[in-house]
A and B are shown apart, each in its own frame.
Chain A
């Protein structure tokens, strides 16, 4: 229903949008729906798919009129309404709600005299009130938007004016497409523009995009090719170029187009040339650009899709019940109509009371019955609760308010708390059955710590570094008081920091003597102690744990062999150890330069460290003159080869280099120049090193193992640098390199400076950067090596990819080739080891190219770059051509530590019956290891690994596993067959069998295939945890979609990166972790948290509360309305079904609108069935929400039955009391109403599990307001409200004891059954929630005791039932050891044996090897 409305509204908007475009240029809410569809209708036809931008200047005047007139200007209007259209438009919007339409229909109906039931005006009241409340809310919201818009529109920027031939101040709103804009540093960009000039000599411009995506690191943008080389600022007067680009779209990571000069020469444009509205210019003195998209057509505005609208499961459920209420209403009205017809046929001629029509005509019974139907609908309209939707909305706002103000979600470090971006699905949090989690950044901290590396086939395990990490972890876990919130039993578990233990254990198994147990006799050398001193200032990705890498002693020793001599061309004494040294040098150079890290000084966080630029700054000193010279020389030699700046690691494949590297053979930088550069480098560095702080000194003292390091020039400088990386891995590697005296000093698009300890400062010409993308899974830099003067490609990437790209050596090759083979094998072994430890692995490789090769490649690459249409594919191919025949240098292992509280949270969520899937792009070993570390998999879980190369194999494997699983559970009564209906997935819960499934990306593809889906889902339904490794973003969302649609379960996806966005959007609830990877996931999410551990409270406590509260409130609303309306209905049986109401209309209307509206809302916001502490301690309680126990279909009907009963009592007790007396209509209605009020309010009290003073206040207030109204109204209204007239009735009744007696009796009888039921439920068959409620009353000690008992009882019950089942089922089979024995055995084995082995043991215990071994897959050992 709602979806249909949304659809209709959207289409209507489109129509309106087409008609009144100027007024309604608001792609605000539906831009995501629209894509660029709507826009295309606005762009002039002649431009076709592209937009043409020309400046408003002489040569283009005609063209400008033609094109630019059709583009929107930069004025934005995000408001929905204007002063003029507010009323009609708001009404229109509101009447999209079915409920409002229904009430409008009733109002209209009441104006038909034939069926009129109330006074015409009165029926309008509720509707008017509801509409007014919402209109005021909308109006205020809109006004706020209007004020912000106005403020933004009136911001000032410098726009080139043709008249005055200079840049003049103009408001943002007056900027149009084709304008030239000049911005200074720290100014905000007013519209999307192509960068034409930057004061930066390299033609780059830094922007901060935090306003757009929240990422705080700087991004580089580049001047359009051909303009960068201009010395002077671009002159708009002489600009004779037209720009053709795509139509506006909301893809932030893409911009395609070209610049066409007057001589038809075309220059490609990419996103690197585009400055986006809303970003801030940083580190660049001034820039000039031409506007291509303005106002609502800017990418930022198109991305601003406003709040998301989802409908919760509960609301859908409630909607169906509203339909039932409609059915009920129709039945009641039909009864009334038929009844009236029959009654009338008896009394047709009775003019005495069957008042004829004004024209003295008597209507026939049939017609009268028909009219009566509509009259009844008006009379009984309250059955459809108009206030329900308003109340639900208010309650949800209240719930959101409480979620957001929960102090437990506050993260001190980031000063952030939970964000609720979707306002109306909070209750879905209480019903989650499947949780899909990203790994990196979600479960882990995404703080990449360099752990170890392998260079040239030698593993350097960095034991001191490991020690450092261990001690850090211990410090954390000691101080943690996380156990406060999680159950006491958790503290019994080994250690919250499971990963450390596990890694160590793996290390032992892997026979790595260097890795010692934490806290063993091995002690740290005193020199490392200092390195733990935290630094005072840190930039992104640079907590001390990440930056302070302690070098490995062995590797440091090898560094001592490094001398510049190695690169002397005449030195022919290259031997193996020296070759190794070369490898080491290359390896660390690659670590330092193969990235897109921006270097800045922490003192001025946004100031890039760079040499004084040519333009502007006055030259002061000799050093600067020297550096200028050096700079000139470098510029001269390297100007043609340019790079592309950086790409976000979002994995968009189309993001490639776009600059034209006009390759020319150039004179290599002469040794003299090198010398100069080295000489001039040092003074400059030392001059700026004055700002080095104490801590840095400590660091350099402590961190350096080689004594000579201190004497190195530039070293103090290094510690003063801040690295801003897009991905934390990059930063980790750069910091690692720094630890080995290989310090990245500065980076410009043309060159990278590295201070290499023994070799001195090296300046690499950057020829190219092929950025990282998720398809290639690697990145490369092409540089000219300053020492060897060769073109070198350094590549770093996922091991699986790099290993395939290595040069294939012939078996009888030369010795270096042979050695390369050995290195390769060894490295592969090390990689496997690393992965087993849960480290993230990267391979580093290089390739030396001859200049001709490079020229050849460059030519092709250029072709790829300039193509406009399938540029992505061509660029990909081009990259493939470059990145092959690589020489493996080594590998790195980076540790991504688990976030604090993750294992506890996962354990709690598991206990809550939530199935958790981990979807990660990491490799299998890493993923499995993390899964164990975070308790996703338990050591005694049975583990199945799906890793096949073909679909058939995958299918076979799955059926085998299934068969085995079935055999295992055959003894259990709940038999599950393969043909089980998918909608009722077999859930062998509590069968004692815990299984985990590991599936790799490739196999996942097969499993997601239609023919295997069913089997796959069936298999996964057996498993508590599923780990999908090597999954692409698309696969992630497909998995979520599959589970969600086929199993019809509530899904939640949580992730932090751009690659999780699609998954987050597909799931019922998407949660973004506002971590280190920017804000894309958060922007797409419904809720944003700062840490994974918050999820457990969000779901277990707030989800449970929100769901319980709202469902109870909705049920209560149905109850209330049915109970009250039925009073009117019963009365119809005594008034000839004539539609008389025994209550004054005002009281009738206000009863729902005022007297009984606030208590349910308060109930919905504040009700607390179980305290937060208990909910956290007993995650099992969450299951009630999963099963929708609070609001099942039969709950609705029981509620309705109760309502019927109560209304019967409420009507007939007064009826029998006053039967045959002289009571008049309204005097009869008064006790009915009063009793109904008490019944309805006390019913709420019975249902409430906790009552605060607010509840009391509101309930008392409701009662008082009712009496006050009745008394005042009864006293004032003598003739005011004809014909109904409650004059003095309440006053009379208040003096009449019978009135009180009737009210008390009625209330008692009406509430007795429910009360008794609740009491019996509480004592005889309490639900877990009711039982848990007792916990809230206990003292802490009693509580712990009770919890233990609860747990013990649960386990015991489960076990005994298992035992019973098994012994019953296995009577014919070989005798089994009792469950307790099995248990003991399990625990014994789990200590001794690694996880993988154990599952095998377990299998053996139950069955013997036969099937398992035959297929060699189920329960495969991990080793």
Chain B
């Protein structure tokens, strides 16, 4: 901006108090940043400029939606590995005080925490002067029904389906987060000095016969300890592995479910469910996402059309020079 120069030259030879001319002037730097002239992308949102966006969204979302929808619907076919879940409803595993009531250090095998669990576990911290292992309300309320699945064949002799107990928890949980306390070979010894949670039938070290699935690293326990986000939830119970490519994992037929009922739910209006499901790349069966994608894609497409009309009608005003009040 040379706006000031000429007028000044006539008035004065220069600033009166800058004799040497070397004095630092207070003139601000004329840089793009300081003068707020940085090159900028200036999106102008008008029908014309955004039209493609809507069509692109529509074109992308609808196929995705259809894809998801189809995948989700295909899940019903019991092929591949079948997952066996138990479901509970009206069970508020996400209640704040319930969620807090655990001691991760204890579960991580910390021996001091084992014998002196965190205060968060109250009132399930100690029982009869012994520390509870695992402490807290979550562990205390662990689901302990036993579910067995039988295939009733033609010979009307029920064939038990092999239910795999391991592999249902996250790998990191099983191997990093949950650890049995250190000590001797015998698990019982390692848990010495602790007592079982009040509601449990057995102490933690007899959850399973497999030493690799016992104690804190029992996968049923680990799964339970991952508290569900919503009051109606399911949790993975067992895996039914596919044996061969030729036969379906669970062939059509009559099955019977044998439940050892330990876990009362009526008094909180709860319900129990058993779910058998396969899993696709997008998890269990849920048509919502697919439908939502299709819907959003369609709406976007529709909006695109509307904007096209608008753009056609108002092209002049939205364009450039011809601006009227």
Contact = CB atoms under 8 A, between A and B. Distances in A.
Contacts of A571: none
Contact of B118 (A352, A407, A539, A1282): A1282
A1322 B38 contact: no
A1423 interface: no
A773 interface: no
B296 interface: yes
A254 interface: no
Contacts of A1342: 320-321
Contacts of A1215: 230
A141 interface: no
Interface in A934-993: none
Contacts of B247: none
B28 A1319 contact: no
A1250 B39 CA distance: 9
B243 to A, nearest CB: 25
Interface stretch (A189-197, A839-847, A922-930, A1218-1226): A1218-1226
B150 interface: no
B268 A350 contact: yes
Contacts of A1298: 282-283, 289
Contacts of A406: 28, 34-36
Interface string B35-51: 11011111111111010
Given A900-B7, A1224-B227, A1301 B293 contact: yes
Contacts of A1324: 310, 314
Interface stretch (B89-97, B157-165, B188-196, B213-221): B89-97
B17 to A, nearest CB: 8
B235 interface: yes
A711 interface: no
Given A355-B137, A405-B35, A408-B1, A1223 B40 contact: no
Contact of B122 (A358, A1302, A1326, A1334): A358
B185 interface: no
A484 to B, nearest CB: 6
A415 B26 contact: yes
Contact of B10 (A485, A534, A1220): A534
Contacts of B300: 1308, 1312
A1291 to B, nearest CB: 8
Nearest to B91: A353
Contact of A1316 (B223, B236, B303): B303
B231 to A, nearest CB: 6
A416 B123 contact: no
A543 B30 CA distance: 29
Given A354-B98, A355-B97, A1298-B282, A1134 B230 contact: yes
B67 to A, nearest CB: 10
A1254 B39 CA distance: 10
Interface in B76-93: 85, 87, 91-93
Interface stretch (B170-178, B200-208, B248-256): B170-178
Contacts of B324: 1349, 1353, 1357
Contact of B92 (A353, A537, A1330, A1337): A353
Interface centre among A408, A1229, A1251, A1252 (most CB of B within 10 A): A1252
Nearest to A1318: B45
Interface string A261-272: 000000000000
B259 interface: no
Contact of A352 (B18, B38, B91): B91
Nearest to B225: A1224
Contacts of A476: 6-7, 10
A901 B61 CA distance: 58
A22 interface: no
Given A407-B1, A1221-B283, A1135 B13 contact: no
B289 A1251 contact: no
B233 A1220 contact: yes
B interface bracket (residues with beta carbon within 8 Å of A) = 35 or more
Contact of B288 (A359, A1219, A1249): A1219
B42 A545 contact: no
B286 A1221 contact: yes
Interface in A537-596: 537-540, 543-545
A538 B16 CA distance: 7
A1229 B107 CA distance: 23
Contacts of B314: 1323-1324
Given A538-B12, A1305-B293, A1349-B323, A1250 B141 contact: no
B321 A1218 contact: no
A1309 interface: yes
Interface centre among B105, B176, B229, B233 (most CB of A within 10 A): B229
A1268 B293 CA distance: 29
B38 A1305 contact: no
B7 A480 contact: yes
B29 A1217 contact: no
B41 A1292 contact: no
B96 A482 contact: no
A479 B235 contact: no
A548 B99 CA distance: 90
Contacts of A375: 96
B296 to A, nearest CB: 6
Contact of A1292 (B6, B170, B281): B170
A856 interface: no
A1346 interface: yes
Nearest to B53: A1315
A1142 B318 contact: no
A1350 to B, nearest CB: 6
B241 interface: no
B226 A407 contact: no
A1283 interface: yes
Interface centre among A360, A1139, A1302, A1322 (most CB of B within 10 A): A1322
Contact of A1323 (B6, B137, B228, B318): B318
A1343 B301 CA distance: 35
Interface centre among A1251, A1253, A1323 (most CB of B within 10 A): A1323
B307 interface: yes
A1166 interface: yes
B15 interface: yes
Nearest to B32: A1252
B25 interface: yes
A1278 interface: yes
Given A360-B123, A1138-B96, A1220-B87, A1297 B282 contact: yes
Given A355-B101, A1334-B320, A1349-B322, A1322 B229 contact: no
Contact of B234 (A1220, A1321, A1346, A1353): A1220
Given A1319-B50, A1323-B310, A472 B10 contact: yes
A19 B114 CA distance: 57
A410 B12 CA distance: 16
A1315 B28 CA distance: 39
A1316 B25 CA distance: 50
Contacts of B229: 1134, 1142, 1218, 1223-1225, 1227-1229
Interface of A: 117, 216, 347, 349-360, 375, 402, 404-417, 472, 475-476, 479-482, 484-485, 534-540, 543-545, 900, 1105, 1134-1136, 1138-1140, 1142, 1166, 1168, 1172, 1213, 1215-1225, 1227-1229, 1246, 1248-1254, 1278-1279, 1282-1285, 1287-1288, 1291-1292, 1296-1298, 1301-1302, 1305, 1308-1309, 1312, 1315-1316, 1318-1324, 1326, 1328, 1330-1331, 1333-1334, 1336-1338, 1342, 1345-1346, 1349-1350, 1353-1354, 1357
Given A355-B137, A1142-B94, 4 more contacts: A354-B95, A406-B34, A1227-B229, A1353-B324
19 contacts: A352-B91, A353-B141, A407-B1, A408-B1, A412-B15, A476-B10, A536-B13, A1138-B96, A1221-B286, A1228-B230, A1252-B39, A1252-B40, A1278-B177, A1283-B102, A1291-B172, A1319-B46, A1324-B314, A1337-B44, A1338-B320
A-B pairs, 4 with minimum CB distance: A479-B6, A1228-B229, A358-B122, A1250-B40
